[in-house]
Structure 1
Amino acid sequence: MSNSVNPALATMQDIQTPAEIGLWPLAYGYWISLFVAIAVITLLIIWLRKHRKAGAVKRAALKELAMLDQNHQQFAVEVSSLLKRAAISYGSREQVAQLTGSDWYKWLNAQVKAPQDELCKLLALRFQKAQLTEDEKQALRLHAQSWLKAALPLRKVDQMSKKTSEVSQC
């Protein structure tokens, strides 16, 4: 047996495979998916920044409340001032700055779902001759902290005007 090569096959060249299909240019589906992913990530970053910026005053107020000296004679006045400054940061100065006494307490209660009657009572004691006891000061700090967490950032003004008229006084 001899290996005789067919003369017709001898003139044929080797079979060449086509070039590999590359990644570039991308198909339309990949471009659409890439665009949607970039848009979602961008919107998420914008939302997170906005959310973080909106909570900055709240975090600062909570930090300042924690740093207040409970042994200070004017502790209750400082707490009330802190609550008012935090509220002014989120609301209109004209609406919040003028509030005093029962109107202030009523407004504080209007900002939260559950009325903070104990907070109002403790804040009302700030102008008495006798200082608050240590337990009252601790309770005032805790109630102020819960108010800051629950009320800030403030809701829309038109919703609050309806709710303020319905809220009972402390």
Structure 2
Amino acid sequence: MSAPTSSSNINPMQQALSQLHDIQTPETISQFPPAIGWWILMALVLSFIAITVWLYQRHQTKHRQQKLALAELNRIAISSDTALQQINALLKRACLAYFPRENIAHLHGASWQQFLDSQARSYKGKPLTFNSEWLTLQYQPQQSNAQKAPASAFKQYAEQWIKTALPPSSTVMKAQKQEVVNV
């Protein structure tokens, strides 16, 4: 015999359960757009990257001529009869790359030596000193063996000078530009 199916036999709990619908899950929460904090963090990170790249490029541009001058200096053979002239010309070209042409192009002899001394900073705690003999030897008749020692010393001085004096500091550049304006 089968049991009568009447609504009176159904438990009130089962009756309440039969009225329930399936569970409806909410829509998934989107990851975009992110909260304002993430936008701020992204802006800060992008700003940091942009500033870092700009500073790196500025540094590379500022030191490019210095690197080129050092590379060319290394190619100058001390045994060459014209080593002193080549080194002096290289120093002049390197200076022209950084300083106003009006301040550098006309310098020679004692004024050139004074300029180099004024721009030189100490190298490894020792002051750089320019030997005036180097300038006079450039214009002497070629004496290869006699000029090798001064050429070697001048090359070493030039390397140290390029490393310490170039690129000039911003205060030196401002003073050089002001000097051009005053002339």
Which bracket does the TM-score occupy, shorter chain normalised? 0.7 to 0.9
How far does residue 126 in structure 1 lie from its aligned partner after superposition? 2.1
2:116 maps to what in 1?
A: 108
How far does residue 154 in structure 1 lie from its aligned partner after superposition? 2.2
Q: Secondary structure at the match of 2:29?
A: coil
Unmatched segments (≥5 aa) in structure 1: 162-170
Would you say the 8 A contact 1:57–1:89 is kept in 2? yes
Distance 1:119 1:47 in 2: 37
Distance 1:100 1:119 in 2: 14
Q: Relative to 1, partners in 2 of residues 1:11 and 1:99: Cα closer, same or farther, differing over 3 Å? A: same
Please, which of 69, 73, 76 is the counterpart of residue 84 of structure 2?
76
How far does residue 138 in structure 1 lie from its aligned partner after superposition? 2.2
Between 1:52-61 and 1:14-23, the stretch displaced more is 14-23
How far does residue 68 in structure 1 lie from its aligned partner after superposition? 1.1
Count of aligned positions: 159
TM-score, length-normalised on structure 2? 0.76
Distance 2:132 2:38 in 1: 60
Distance 2:117 2:162 in 1: 12
Q: Does 1:136 align with 2:144?
A: no
Structure number with greater Rg is 2
1:164 maps to what in 2?
A: none
Moved >6 Å (runs of 4+)? none
**Identical-pair percentage:** 28
How far does residue 128 in structure 1 lie from its aligned partner after superposition? 3.0
**Could you say what the CA RMSD is over the residues aligned between the two structures, in angstroms?**
2.4
Distance 2:80 2:18 in 1: 106
Q: Secondary structure at the match of 1:6?
A: helix
1:122 maps to what in 2?
A: 134
Would you say the 8 A contact 1:123–1:140 is kept in 2? no
Distance 1:48 1:120 in 2: 38
